[in-house]
């Protein structure tokens, strides 16, 4: 980890400017009837989980270009996640992926405790074949035509639940790449029936205090049809399975131009929003860094979440996680930036004058309604985020502090380069 002194030292130079900026923003928000300290407190309490696979360099179908000092195993990954949380104070939990992160659960717990981290949702993997598995997922997993392959996929998910129970996780995220590449290759109805039947077996093994998240994705690796392709299918699954089953929304898993924030509102309205995978996209499921392409859309998604909080929607507790592929940046830096972007979207959504907005909506004043959202979105809340970090003893400017720490050079010396084979996209 990075020495505490180093963070304190990095905070010295920007401290007085931050005080001045925070005070100026406080006055501005006060004129709008907003208490800056209340917003800061909410931001400080907000956390987004980091995916263990995010700290390794990602890749595309064409190639993967490994970075220096890439994690060799789950313990290296946890070290990197620990640094992200140490600098941002915004990423207290890590989401593991099985079998990539399989290890002795006592060792996992000890490492997490040492780093001040906890474990978020477990992720199963039935979209690729492992060396020791008997049946292939080439033609599907939970929806495979053969009973034995479906059974193997079910048992893998049950193992993920067992591992999760041992490390304090409370949720299982299931994403399958099942689908087809040719018209006529599969019978849509029978394939979905098989998926539902298999997933019900996983659901039946869920501990009483766990949630099951199913994640939809429009296409890839199947390019003609995908079994769990859209939010409507996902909602049907959650309905079929029962009250512990929820929909997980990955921001990149929709057709271009789809109104994702409205999908979020719909799923909230019917009590089935389980959580998010945050990322950004330009063309498809690009897995770009959160907030890097369309920060306004991210804000609009958070606007729906804060609206649900404001309306005190019952049992509303979606899980928040980043899920992106870092192909050309240092993954630690990308995750730091992305965690801050998510926090920023949350802070901006908290600034929306909801009473005024409702009034304009009731009066059909479209212009003033949208102006109300824009007023919040245009506010520079960086001083709020930075002050929350400073007060936690984390970095005012986490990227600068990370670069100054020499952490990447240090782990590069300790960790031999990982070979460039494999796509690495998830
Ligand atoms: Mn995802």
The Å distance, Cα 415 to ligand 1 centre, comes to 28
pLDDT tier at 416, thresholds 50, 70, 90: confident
CA of 250 to the centre of ligand 1 (A): 5
The answer on pLDDT for 249 being more than 60 is yes
Q: Can you give the residue range of the structural domain that contains 211?
A: 47-354
Q: Determine the distance separating the centroid of ligand 1 and the alpha carbon of 315, expressed in angstroms.
A: 23
Higher pLDDT, 418 or 301: 301
Quote the mean pLDDT of the chain: 96
> Whole-model pTM?
0.96
Residue 393 lies in a domain: no
CA distance 55 to 334: 9
Tell me: pLDDT of 425 over 70: no
Over range 264-285, report the average pLDDT.
97
pLDDT at 417: 76
DSSP per position, 158-200: HHHHHHHHHTT--EEEE----EESSTTSS-HHHHHHHHHHHHH
For residue 191, being part of any structural domain is answered with yes
Is the per-residue pLDDT at 226 higher than 50? yes
If you compute the radius of gyration of the chain from its CA atoms, what whole number of angstroms results? Answer: 22
Q: How many CB atoms lie within 10 A of CB 141?
A: 28
**Residue 364 forms part of a structural domain:** no
pLDDT tens-digit map of 81-105: 999 999 999 999 999 999 999 999 9
Q: 247 in a domain, yes or no?
A: yes
Distance 89 CA to ligand 1 centre (A): 23
Determine the distance separating the centroid of ligand 1 and the alpha carbon of 278, expressed in angstroms: 8
**Residues facing 173 on adjacent strands:** 123, 213
- Cβ atoms within 10 Å of 325's Cβ, excluding its own: 25
d(CA 168, CA 166): 6
Q: What is the mean pLDDT of residues 140-160?
A: 98
* Separation of CA 421 and ligand 1 centre (Å): 22
Residue 33: inside a domain: no
Q: What percent of the chain stands above pLDDT 90?
A: 96
- Quick one: average pLDDT of 188-200? 98
Q: How far is the CA of 320 from the centre of ligand 1 (A)?
A: 11
pLDDT band at 418 (very low <50, low <70, confident <90, very high): low
> What tokens does 101 get?
């992160």
Is it the case that residue 39 has pLDDT exceeding 70? yes
Counting the structural domains of the chain, the total is: 1
Tell me how far the alpha carbon of residue 186 lies from the centroid of ligand 1, in angstroms: 25
Distances (CA, A) of 159 to 96, 150, 166, 172, 205: 13, 14, 11, 11, 10
Burial of residue 404, with CB atoms counted within 10 A of its CB: 0-12 exposed, 13-18 middle, 19 or more buried: middle
Q: Is the predicted pLDDT of residue 420 greater than 70, yes or no?
A: no
Is the model's pLDDT at 21 over the cut of 60? yes
- Torsions phi, psi for 273 (to 5 deg): -80, 115
CATH number, domain at 203? 3.20.20.150
Per DSSP, the three-state class of 67 is coil
Ligand 1 geometric centre to CA of 176 (Å): 11
Residue 113 in any domain: the answer is: yes
Residue 41 falls within a domain, yes or no? Answer: no
pLDDT at 410 over 60: yes
pLDDT of res. 412:
96
In the predicted model, is pLDDT for residue 422 greater than 80?
no
**At 275, phi and psi to the nearest 5?**
170, -175
Task: Kindly give the distance from the C-alpha atom of residue 347 to the centroid of ligand 1, in angstroms, as a whole number.
Answer: 23
Contacts of 364 (CB under 8 A, 6+ apart): none
Structural contact between residues 136 and 159, judged by C-beta atoms closer than 8 angstroms: no
pLDDT at 419: 59
Residues contacting residue 319 through CB under 8 Å, at least 6 positions apart? 49, 120, 121, 171, 211, 213, 248, 274, 275, 276
Question: How many residues in total does the chain contain?
Answer: 426
Residue 220 to residue 200: CA distance in whole angstroms: 24
Locate 413 and state its tokens: 């010396």
In a domain, 18, yes or no: no
Q: How far is the CA of 285 from the centre of ligand 1 (A)?
A: 9
**242 alpha carbon to ligand 1 midpoint, in Å?**
22
């Amino acid at each position: 980890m990075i020495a505490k002194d180093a963070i304190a030292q990095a905070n010295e130079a920007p401290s007085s400017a931050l005080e001045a900026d925070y005070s100026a923003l406080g006055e501005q928000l006060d004129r709008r009837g907003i208490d800056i300290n209340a917003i800061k407190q909410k931001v400080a309490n907000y956390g987004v989980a980091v995916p263990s696979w995010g700290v390794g360099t990602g890749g595309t179908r064409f190639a993967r270009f490994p970075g220096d000092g890439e994690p060799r195993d789950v313990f290296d990954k946890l070290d990197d996640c620990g640094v992200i949380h140490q600098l941002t104070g915004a990423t207290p939990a890590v989401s593991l992926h099985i079998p990539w992160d399989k290890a002795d659960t006592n060792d996992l717990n000890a490492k997490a405790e040492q780093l001040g981290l906890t474990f978020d949702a477990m992720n199963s993997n039935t979209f690729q074949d492992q060396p020791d598995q008997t049946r292939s997922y080439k033609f599907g997993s939970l929806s495979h035509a053969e009973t034995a392959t479906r059974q193997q996929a079910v048992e893998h998910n049950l193992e993920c639940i067992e591992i999760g129970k041992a490390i304090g996780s409370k949720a299982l995220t299931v994403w399958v790449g099942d689908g087809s590449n040719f018209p006529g290759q599969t019978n849509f109805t029978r394939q979905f029936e098989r998926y539902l039947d298999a997933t019900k077996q996983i659901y039946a093994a869920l501990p009483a205090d766990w949630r099951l998240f199913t994640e939809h994705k429009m296409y890839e690796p199947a390019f003609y049809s995908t079994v769990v392709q859209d939010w409507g299918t996902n909602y049907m699954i959650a309905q079929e399975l029962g009250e512990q089953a929820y929909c997980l929304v990955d921001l990149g898993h929709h057709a271009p131009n789809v109104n994702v924030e409205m999908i979020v509102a719909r799923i909230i309205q019917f009590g089935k929003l389980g959580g998010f995978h945050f990322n950004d996209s330009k063309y498809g499921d690009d897995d770009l860094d959160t907030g890097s392409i369309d920060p306004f859309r991210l804000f609009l998604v958070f606007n729906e979440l804060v609206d649900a909080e404001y309306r005190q929607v019952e049992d509303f507790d979606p899980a928040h996680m980043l899920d992106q592929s870092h192909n050309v940046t240092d993954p630690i830096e990308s995750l730091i930036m992305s965690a801050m972007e998510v926090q920023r979207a949350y802070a901006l959504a908290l600034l929306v004058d909801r009473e005024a907005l409702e009034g304009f909506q009731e009066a059909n004043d479209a212009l003033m309604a949208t102006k109300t959202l824009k007023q919040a979105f245009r506010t520079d809340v960086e001083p709020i985020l930075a002050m929350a970090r400073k007060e936690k003893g984390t970095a005012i400017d986490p990227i600068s502090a990370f670069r100054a720490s020499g952490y990447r050079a240090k782990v590069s010396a300790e960790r031999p380069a990982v070979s460039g084979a494999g796509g690495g996209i998830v």
